[in-house]
């Protein structure tokens, strides 16, 4: 009997939905069953805010430990939650086609964020979203919020909060029954977290060739290129994934467009960089490394990393590090 492929996943409804989506696609590619292996991370058990927990990697560490100990064969992460540094012995083998990267504001009655009355209570624990909400409406009150999507929405239904900010991709993947009014935020004026809307399928760098090839078949080159640009910007500014930094890149055909904004505490205190260029097709396909077995499977499009590093340099030249350092995080 063929042994099932073991896919490690957090227990949350969203993580399970994302993992199940990848499991179905991988079963078709590999011709083998895929079973989910639930794993509990610190981010799942602690009620502290993500910024207090350290943000970067809080959901990934325990899962990666399980993967390295051969408790599972692969993981599915929300890419925005992953540290930008390589994890020794592991490789992101696929980034499937990206879902909607936008944030959405949810309210009971459809009042737009900018029109909410002074003192309206907005729920979000993200320093970036806090900064963006303040720019849209300086009179509202910000409240830190944790919990799953349903519990967050219930706090709006119950009147405890007047609005919350969530990722559109998570709502879509959950197939949530949404009885609240949604106001999507335009990415040009409200760029989101690096990698938001994208999934990362991670495995060991020494995984067998057949399984690696099946996972690689799930990769979308345009998504891979865009999120590599975004993560290179994040790494170049040396900001964690929960820093007040909005980044969005999109590749349509060969045309790349990038928006990156570092936010300070006060409305108007921000540094923005826009970048656009045509990218030849030969640079879009990922390239393996040449310095050992591990790097041979680090299928990262080199040109994307170069672009992201250059954009990060422009942000730093304009003083972005002063805005995204921990001492200035909203």
Residue of 150, 186, 161 whose CA lies nearest to 108? 161
Superfamily grouping for domain 5-99+193-328: Periplasmic binding protein-like II (3.40.190.10)
Q: State the pLDDT at residue 296.
A: 47
pTM, 2 dp: 0.89
For 214, the token pair is 């099946």
125/329 Cα distance (integer angstroms): 12
Neighbour count for residue 84 (Cβ, 10 Å) = 20
List all residues 6 or more positions away from 154 whose beta carbon is below 8 Å from its beta carbon. Answer: none
Question: What are the residue ranges of helices labelled H in 5-86?
Answer: 13-30, 42-45, 50-53, 61-68
**80 three-class SS:** helix
106 beta partners: 164, 182
The yes or no reply on domain 103-184 and CATH 3.40.190.10 is: yes
Domain with CATH 3.40.190.10 in the chain: 5-99+193-328, 103-184
10/37 Cα distance (integer angstroms): 8
105/88 Cα distance (integer angstroms): 38
131/20 Cα distance (integer angstroms): 34
Q: Taking the C-alpha atoms of 41, 83, 55 and 23 in order, what is their torsion angle to the nearest 10 degrees? A: -40
98/180 Cα distance (integer angstroms): 24
What is the torsional sign of CA 38, 42, 47, 49?
Answer: negative
Give me the tens of pLDDT residue by residue for the chain, a chain 330 residues long: 578 999 999 988 889 999 999 999 999 999 999 999 999 865 555 454 444 444 446 678 889 999 999 999 999 999 998 999 889 999 999 999 999 999 999 999 999 999 999 999 999 989 999 999 999 999 999 999 988 888 999 999 999 999 999 999 999 998 867 899 999 999 999 999 999 999 999 999 999 999 999 999 999 999 999 999 999 999 999 876 667 999 999 999 999 999 999 998 887 889 999 999 999 988 887 555 434 334 445 567 899 999 999 999 999 999 998 888 755 444
Q: Are strands 74-78 and 199-204 parallel, antiparallel or unpaired?
A: antiparallel
Residue of 141, 168, 157, 161 whose CA lies nearest to 78? 168
CB 221 within 8 A of CB 285: yes
Q: Which residues of 39-48 are buried (b: 16+ CB within 10 A; e: fewer)?
A: bebebeeeee
114/139 Cα distance (integer angstroms): 9
Please state the φ and ψ torsions of residue 178, each to the nearest 5 degrees. Answer: -100, 115
**64 three-class SS:** helix
170/79 Cα distance (integer angstroms): 12
Question: What are the residue ranges of helices labelled H in 97-208?
Answer: 127-136, 149-157, 168-174
Residue of 146, 272, 129, 143 whose CA lies nearest to 193? 129
204 beta partners: 90
Q: State the pLDDT at residue 325.
A: 72
């Amino acid at each position: 009997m063929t042994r099932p492929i073991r896919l490690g996943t957090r227990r949350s409804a969203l993580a399970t939905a994302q993992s199940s989506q990848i499991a179905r696609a991988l079963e078709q590619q590999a011709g083998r069953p895929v079973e989910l292996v639930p794993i509990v991370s610190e981010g799942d058990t602690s009620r502290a805010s993500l910024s207090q927990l350290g943000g970067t990697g809080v959901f990934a560490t325990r899962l990666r430990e399980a993967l390295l100990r051969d408790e599972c064969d692969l993981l599915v992460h929300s890419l925005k939650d992953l540290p930008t540094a390589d994890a020794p012995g592991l490789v992101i083998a696929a980034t499937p086609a990206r879902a909607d990267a936008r944030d959405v504001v949810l309210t009971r009655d459809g009042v737009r964020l900018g029109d909410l009355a002074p003192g309206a209570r907005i729920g979000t624990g993200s320093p970036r979203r806090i900064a963006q909400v303040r720019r849209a409406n300086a009179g509202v009150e910000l409240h830190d919020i944790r919990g799953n999507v349903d519990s967050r929405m219930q706090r709006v239904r119950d009147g405890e909060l007047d609005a919350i900010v969530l990722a559109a991709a998570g709502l879509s993947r959950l197939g949530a029954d949404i009885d609240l009014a949604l106001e999507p935020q335009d990415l040009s004026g409200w760029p989101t977290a690096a990698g938001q809307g994208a999934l990362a399928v991670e495995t060991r760098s020494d995984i067998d060739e057949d399984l690696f090839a099946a996972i690689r078949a799930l990769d979308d080159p345009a998504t891979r290129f865009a999120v590599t640009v975004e993560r290179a910007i994040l790494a170049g500014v040396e900001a964690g994934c929960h820093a007040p930094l909005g980044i969005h890149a999109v590749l349509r055909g060969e045309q790349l467009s990038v928006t990156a904004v570092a936010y300070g505490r006060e409305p108007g205190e921000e540094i923005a960089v826009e970048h656009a260029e045509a990218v030849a097709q030969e640079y879009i396909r990922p390239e393996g490394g040449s310095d050992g077995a591990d790097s041979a499977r680090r299928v990262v499009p080199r040109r994307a990393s170069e672009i992201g590093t250059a954009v990060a340099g422009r942000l730093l030249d304009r003083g972005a590090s002063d805005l995204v350092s921990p001492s200035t995080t909203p």
